[in-house]
Chain A
């Protein structure tokens, strides 16, 4: 590893270990950062408003304590962890939070968030559940209300040019993160799952222009890399929702395999789809967040009349990633109390079976306390497909 590579990867490591350190500094200098916990929050508006979109992370090592005195334990444990950290002032540099209609755990807890935290800005984006012409019309109006709320908060009008510029910046960001995944195609991959996780995590904590600059440096260094940091072993696809920790990828690596691609919210589900750069930016963002984010929360009509046809329409991106990254098996990693993903388990299982991809389903409670159990199951799975 070159000195320069060491320095950029060391910087990623530094910011990962002290998550949000850079944005905290910028906020101390007067910048405004707006937190979000779900991929359905259109970040482009926050950037166009001159604020920093900041992805709130949970922490599997931090026991949920104060949060549980305000929020029921039947809420998705990832959402609970994020809320708990907010209540404990882990993200006290934020100026506000945007919560979208991502799932019941978010919608039904909106009042709890907005009344329990002392941020001056809160907004709820009501993302439709269906994809139709009427839902597009509605969503465009809803995005304009969101835009207005940011304008009221910052005291600055957001022009179409501001939004178009933000669309380009975020598209650049997504293209750069997609380029990172290219290094995962080699066998063994030239960038490890742990490294990728840290780079993407840090990227989601920075102003998008800074994230793009960091990604450029990382990509340049990885381009010069000739030696894979991991050994050859079973190649795994990680499927699931908001996986903002590396516990599963770490266990897979320790057990002789490697997560080479994912379909998670902190990964390709959110980072790969682009927004159109031409035309009305609000309409373009409505299309990106409603049509192109493939989340189980969004209902898409079965137009085929068969289960196989429906499964291909809903899960085809999984099959495409599996093929592109030549995976040997998949892990479907879900959190307890997650209704949108939980109800899809039988259909997803059947889909993986149709592709002849061995699948391990794990339901977890978002806690470091379960790592031992997960390890036993993952080791057995890797031995089976080994």
Chain B
């Protein structure tokens, strides 16, 4: 049943930057590091999820995070997820559920049954945790259910569930009216996490160290923003294909000096490339935005296929999990936990004011509009992964809203000289469909046919504009 042969290994994706090429060994090392720690007993290990603003707390307590979404992604990228997915199905879990979680639960059940790492597990396998930190937040149901399901097979492993809500955008209400009690709640949740970790590790939190790490993260946030803004250059020096690599330090190594150094090096590399006029693609014809959806990790080569057609991706909404802190108007506080909570709320409400000011807009749509303009985008590509509702519901509607602004007909605009000018601002979009790690949902031929047709559309829009 679960002894299926692995899929044929894909050709390695070509990266545009040295930094992106260095990611593979980095991921391999932090997976190996957790296995070493398990064996040598040097650190407590915590299963956990990205985008929870709790890395500083974990690292200040010397707890090693085991990023379970990352391991599932690695299984997908290595085309070795199917045997774990099938094992999850054999337990009664539907393939329509989050396949990251299915892969993780299948893997955990198998490891617990064997009492050791499943055979030939990617990169040495995922270590057994000491505890699990899940985040039943407004963001994602599987984050609240995954570890609970895994706990059935390892009931001795405790769970701490942090509720991290943020106010959902409501057009007619100012979110500031409710921020106070959201903040109070998140602070209590994070303090609850600290108390849980103190109990599990037998150590007290060092708040000076926590403050230093929070400060380091803040600097990383601003550095990442500055670095990614360099991609506005023409030609763009780095694309989304590479950003699917550089998301690793941003999301899995936050609050570490290594992460800061990584982005310092990347920034320098991009500045050098810009100075040399070197782009992601040799001759940049089209500038595309990855407008939503997690990538198909087993098919990252599709980015090279786009590149081969002269299409670069200067920007993506996916995994852009930081925004410039100085534009957030965060209340000042010397308490690092309070700051983490403000930063969490600042990130999720970042686009609210702008969206409220533009009739018909909405935060996700507003972000698309802003980046279409800032990065001078010709077209938008989104990926619909069938198993994930968190990042993939609402994309069709967002594209519909966007099409109301970027119409496929010439419109009159006020030009720089104050005169009305006829412009064609059409921004076509492409929806790719498959999954994050379930390769059975993917067809390379269909995907590439869609890409070909999309490139023809971009060409035709350009010809119409020139006419």
Chain A interface residues toward B at CB < 8 A: 69-72, 74-75, 101, 103-105, 107-112, 114-116, 122-124, 126, 128-130, 132, 134-135, 137-138, 141-142, 145, 149, 296-297, 299, 301-302, 305-307, 310, 334, 336-337, 339-340, 342-347, 349-350, 361, 363
Contacts and interface: CB of A to CB of B under 8 A. Distances in A.
A119 to B, nearest CB: 12
Contact of B145 (A116, A296, A301): A296
Contacts of B145: 296, 339-340, 343-344
B165 A115 contact: no
B185 interface: yes
Interface in B150-196: 151-152, 155-156, 158-159, 161, 163, 165, 167-171, 173, 177-178, 181-182, 184-185, 188-189, 192
B101 A107 contact: no
Interface of B: 91-94, 96-98, 101, 134, 136-138, 140-142, 144-146, 148-149, 151-152, 155-156, 158-159, 161, 163, 165, 167-171, 173, 177-178, 181-182, 184-185, 188-189, 192, 360, 362, 364, 384, 386-390, 392-397, 400-401
Contacts of B168: 107, 110, 124, 126
A104 B393 contact: yes
Contact of B384 (A72, A114, A122): A72
A103 B155 contact: no
Nearest to B400: A70
A336 B388 CA distance: 12
5 contacts: A72-B392, A108-B390, A122-B170, A138-B165, A305-B156
Given A122-B170, A345-B93, A72 B395 contact: yes
B76 to A, nearest CB: 18
Nearest to A359: B92
Contacts of A134: 185, 188-189, 192
B390 A336 contact: no
Contact of A130 (B161, B177, B395): B161
A315 to B, nearest CB: 12
Given A305-B156, A307-B152, A345-B93, A112 B394 contact: yes
Contacts of B390: 104, 108
B155 A111 contact: no
A343 B176 CA distance: 35
Contact of B155 (A101, A137, A141, A306): A306
Given A138-B185, A299-B144, A310-B151, A346 B159 contact: no
A287 to B, nearest CB: 17
Contacts of B178: 141-142, 145
Contact of A345 (B94, B101, B389): B94
Contacts of A137: 181, 184-185, 188
A343 B155 CA distance: 16
Contacts of A296: 145
Contacts of A124: 168, 170
The interface centre, meaning the residue of B145, B158, B173, B364 with most chain A CB atoms within 10 A of its CB, is: B145
Contact of B96 (A129, A297, A336): A336
The interface centre, meaning the residue of A104, A109, A145, A361 with most chain B CB atoms within 10 A of its CB, is: A104
Contacts of B134: 299
A111 B394 contact: yes
A308 to B, nearest CB: 9
Contacts of A343: 93, 97, 101, 141-142, 145-146, 148-149
A74 B389 contact: yes
Contact of B170 (A107, A114, A337): A114
B389 A302 contact: no
Contacts of A342: 93-94, 96-97
Nearest to A347: B152
Please give me the 7 A-B residue pairs with the lowest Cβ-Cβ distance, nearest first.
Answer: A129-B136, A343-B145, A108-B393, A138-B185, A134-B188, A141-B181, A339-B141
Contact of A302 (B159, B182, B185): B159
Contact of A126 (B138, B386, B393): B138
A70 B163 contact: no
